[in-house]
Amino acid sequence: MSGLAAILYTVRDFSKTPAALAETLKKVKAIGYNHVELAGQGPIDPKELKQMVDGEGLSVCSTHTNLLRLRDDLDAVIEEHQLWECKHIAIGGLPKEDQNEDGYKRFAQEGSEIGRKLKEQGLSFSYHNHWMELDKYNFRTGLEILAEESDPDTFFFEIDTCWLQFAGGDPSTWIRKLKGRQHLVHFKDMILPSTDNNATLEVGEGSLDFPSIIEACKDAGVQWHIVEQDFCPGDPFESMATSYRNLIAMGLE
C-alpha cells in the first residue's frame, strides 16, 4: 500500500481528547485523505483509536513514537502497531544533548538495533530529520553519520523536505541518495531562504520544488507522501485541504 497521507501533528490542537480526535478524523477524511500518520494527539486507548480510524475508512500508515517508549516499552509499541495494522514507526529526532557527532554515531547503532527488533515483527524504524542534522562534524553532516554508520536493512529515514532545504540541503538529492532506505517522506513548504522556523506554509505555496521532489520520491521508491505543516496562519484544516488540492493537481494520488 502507498499514497498521500496527513500527519495529525498539524491538527494537534484539535486532537487532545478522544472526542476531539474523532471529530478531527472526520474532517481529515472529508478533505480527501485516506491515510494518517499519528503524532501529537492526546492520550487514547489503542483499541478505541483503531475503532475511530476504521469507522472513518482511514488507515494508519505510520506513527511518530517517543524514543523512550522504543527503548523501554518496545513490546507494547509493537502490539499497538500490529493492532492498527501500521508497519512504520518513526521518531522525530534526538534529544538536544545527543545532537552531536558522538550522539549521532551512538544512535546509528542503537537505532539499527531497535530497527532489527521491529523488523522481526514485520515493522520498520525510521528517523525524521529537522535542520540540525545538516550541521557538519569532521566534514560529515549528522544525517550522513546516521546513514553511513547504521544498518541499511534496519535503519530507515523519513526525510522532511522543508527542514532539509531550510538547512541548505536539496530534498530531491537527499531522497535519491537514500534510495531504498525510505518508506516515508514529509511534504512541507516555506518561503526560503528564511531564518524563521515557524513560517511553514501549505505544500505548493512556498519555495520548494514539489514536482521535482515527487519525481525523486518515485525514483527512490517512497511509499508514503505525508503532508505536514508545523504552524498554520489560519485554520489548519483549511491548510491541510490546500496542500491536498495542490498535490492532487501535481499528479500525486
> Is pLDDT at 193 greater than 70 in this prediction?
yes
> Is pLDDT at 156 greater than 80 in this prediction?
yes
> Is pLDDT at 145 greater than 90 in this prediction?
yes
Placement of cell 553519520 in the chain: 145
Percent of the chain clearing pLDDT 70 (strictly above)? 100
Euclidean distance between CA atoms 246 and 204, whole angstroms: 6
Of 2-6, 7-11, 205-209, the one with minimum mean pLDDT is 2-6
User: What is the structure's pLDDT at 67?
Assistant: 98
* Per-residue pLDDT tens digits for 88-120: 999 999 999 999 999 999 999 999 999 999 999
Q: What nine digits make up the cell of 57?
A: 475508512
Instruction: Indicate the pLDDT class of residue 190, thresholds 50, 70 and 90.
Output: very high
Q: Average pLDDT in the 230-240 region? A: 96
Q: Average pLDDT in the 171-178 region? A: 98
Element (H, E) at 243: helix 236-249
Q: Average pLDDT in the 45-65 region? A: 98
Euclidean distance between CA atoms 78 and 32, whole angstroms: 29
Element (H, E) at 142: helix 142-149
- Asked whether the beta carbons of 42 and 20 are under 8 A apart, the reply is yes
Euclidean distance between CA atoms 148 and 143, whole angstroms: 9
* Per-residue pLDDT tens digits for 79-95: 999 999 999 999 999 99
> Is pLDDT at 1 greater than 80 in this prediction?
no
| Nearest residue to 92 (alpha-carbon basis) of 46, 130, 61, 56 | 130
Length of the chain: 253
